[in-house]
Structures are given as C-alpha cells and as structure tokens.
C-alpha cells in the first residue's frame, strides 16, 4: 500500500522526547477544539466558504513558517515531497473538506461521534501496515474512550434522519483520512519532512471548496476570525502534530487527538453560552480517564524498562 520514492536529503529537526511530544499533541488537540466557538462568532461566512478561507489561511501560515525556518531551502523541501508527502497532503485535504461538508448535512454531535472511531481504525492500520504491537491497555483505552464519546452525544445520534445519515457517511472520510495520515507519518519515519504536506493539503482543500464557496460573503470581521482559524486552529497545530508523531505511537496520536472532541463543547460553553448536557460532562470524564490511564500506564512501563 505504501512505497518510498528517492528524495533529496535534508537536515531533519531533532526528534522530540516522548514527554515533549505528548505536550505538543495535547496543545494541537486543544487548538483544534476551538473551531466551534470561533465559527460561532462569524457574521456572514458559512459552510463551504469557511472551509475555503480556513484552508487558504492554513496554507499561507505553513508556507510562511517554511520560508522563515528554511529560507532558500523551503521550495526544494516542498518539491521533494515523495509518495508519502503526496498521500499525506491528500489526507489533510480530505479531512479539511469532509468535516465541513458533513456539517452541512448533519449535526456537529453526529460528526464527532463518527470522528471518535479514529483511534480504533488507527490501531488496526498500525497493526496491519506497521506490524506494530498494540498493548492491551491501549485497546482498552480506545474502547472506553469511544464509549465515552457515544455517551456524550447519544441524544443527538438518536435523532438521525436520512440527510443526517448521509452526513455521517461523509464524516467517515475524516477518521479514515486521519488514520491513513498517521500511518503515513509513522511509515515515513525520518526519511522526509512531512510538514510541507500540510501546505499541499491546504491548497488542495481551498481549490476544491472555492467553486462551492462562491459568491464569497465574508465580512472583514469574518476574514479576521477565519485567519485565526487558519493560522492557529489549523496550520500551527497540524505542524505540531507532525513533529509529535516522530516520538509517539500511532494509537497514542489518535487517542490524544480525542481531546479535540472532549474540549470542543467546553469552549462552546465558555465562549458561546452553549451549556453542555450532563451526559456531555460525564462522557467527557470517561474519555479523559481513558487517556490518562493509557499514558500513566505507558509511563510506568518505560520506568520499569
């Protein structure tokens, strides 16, 4: 399924420690989780236009970061993307697009329910394609976390109509693309810098969404918020995730990414007055417990070793 093309050699950034990688992944999930509360502040931009501007600004942010960090080597790094880079870029684009398309057809809750299967898919893919041993504690954490997500959103899930079901089918593209992307990041290892793949994904997503986003209606106020979404809710955390992936296992990455689903309703509560149901709080506590259990058990095993 995956193969390697010969690519020019570039100096790779130092591999972060496991602790630093955990911190980077937690920061990524926290920033991703702000999407809902920020989009609640928009005046006129909706649906496909939000995805267009967010993807465009994310691509601009990553391009600027590459230019600042690598200067004259930025373009060669982008052009050096091999099959791994192109697949990763396509997966980023699929995630950026599918999420917004799904939201035009179904509720945020239903989309998040579908997204929560990502750790399970990633663990299965890691076992098949990476020959990676998945500890029993991680399988248990995945099952418990998915159960917690279902608990959080079971009320909305019970009211799915035909349109909502279509949206959930579209939303399946998110965990599928996310899982494949994590496997690509791990499979590539240290061979190539995959941060430019985020730029490729942003450009592809913006180009795909532009025809559906016309005529553009975003106000100056909207453009500012959408720029913040592109820069700090998408571009920056995706770059942090790529860096963290060098020191975390594939299932760890997907499990920690569930913090996005956990924190999203909390920010909407604090920033937009959307009071979460008791099931949301209880289910969130279950998810957080599963994540903590998995990481504490992993830390204990590393100390014993």
Give the pLDDT confidence of 226-247 residue by residue, as tens digits.
999 999 999 999 999 999 988 8
Q: What is the DSSP string of 241-295?
A: HHHHTTTS-HHHHHHHHTHHHHHHHHHHHHHH--PPPHHHHHHHHHHHHHHHHHH
The pLDDT of residue 5 is 47
pTM of the full predicted structure?
0.81
| Residue 200: pLDDT over 70 | yes
Six-digit token pair at 47? 């649906």
Phi (first) and psi of residue 161, to 5 degrees: -105, -170
Out of 51-65, 75-89, 140-154, 274-288, pick the least confident. 274-288
Averaged over 200-221, what is the pLDDT? 94
Q: Hey, is 145 helix, strand or coil?
A: helix
Averaged over 140-167, what is the pLDDT? 74
- How sure is the predictor about 3, in pLDDT bands with cuts at 50, 70 and 90? very low
The pLDDT of residue 281 is 67
Nearest to 127 by CA among 183, 69, 185, 71: 183
Averaged over 264-274, what is the pLDDT? 74
Higher pLDDT, 221 or 41: 221
Averaged over 67-76, what is the pLDDT? 88
Positive/negative CA dihedral, 155, 160, 164, 169: positive
| Residue 4: pLDDT over 50 | no
Averaged over 8-36, what is the pLDDT? 83
Higher pLDDT, 6 or 105: 105
**What is the rounded (10 degree) CA torsion for 259, 85, 223, 104?**
-60
| Residue 190: pLDDT over 70 | no
Give the pLDDT confidence of 252-261 residue by residue, as tens digits.
888 888 888 7
Averaged over 65-74, what is the pLDDT? 89
Averaged over 76-100, what is the pLDDT? 88
């Amino acid at each position: 399924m995956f193969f390697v093309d010969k690519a020019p050699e570039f100096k790779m950034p130092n591999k972060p420690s496991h602790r630093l990688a955990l911190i980077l992944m937690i920061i990524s999930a926290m920033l991703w989780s702000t999407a809902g509360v920020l989009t609640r502040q928009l005046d006129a931009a909706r649906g496909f236009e939000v995805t267009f501007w967010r993807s465009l600004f994310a691509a601009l942010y990553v391009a600027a970061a590459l230019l600042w960090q690598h200067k004259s080597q930025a373009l060669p790094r982008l052009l050096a993307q091999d099959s791994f880079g192109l697949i990763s870029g396509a997966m980023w684009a699929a995630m950026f697009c599918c999420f917004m398309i799904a939201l035009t057809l179904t509720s945020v809750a239903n989309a998040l329910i579908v997204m929560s299967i990502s750790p399970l898919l990633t663990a299965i893919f890691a076992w098949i394609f990476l020959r990676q041993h998945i500890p029993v504690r991680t399988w248990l954490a995945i099952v418990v976390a998915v159960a917690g997500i279902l608990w959080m959103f079971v009320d909305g899930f019970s009211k799915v109509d035909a349109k909502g079901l279509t949206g959930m089918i579209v939303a399946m593209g998110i965990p599928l693309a996310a899982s494949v992307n994590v496997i690509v990041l791990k499979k590539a290892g240290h061979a190539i810098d995959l941060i430019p793949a985020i730029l490729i994904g942003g450009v592809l997503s913006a180009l795909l969404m532009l025809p559906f986003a016309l005529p553009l209606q975003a106000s100056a106020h909207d453009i500012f918020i959408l720029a913040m979404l592109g820069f700090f809710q998408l571009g920056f955390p995706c770059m942090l995730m790529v860096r963290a992936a060098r020191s975390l296992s594939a299932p760890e990455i997907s499990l920690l990414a569930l913090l996005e689903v956990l924190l999203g309703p909390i920010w909407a509560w604090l920033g937009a007055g959307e009071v979460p149901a008791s099931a949301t709080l209880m289910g969130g506590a279950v998810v957080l417990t599963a994540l903590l259990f998995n990481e504490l058990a992993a830390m204990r095993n590393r100390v014993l070793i």
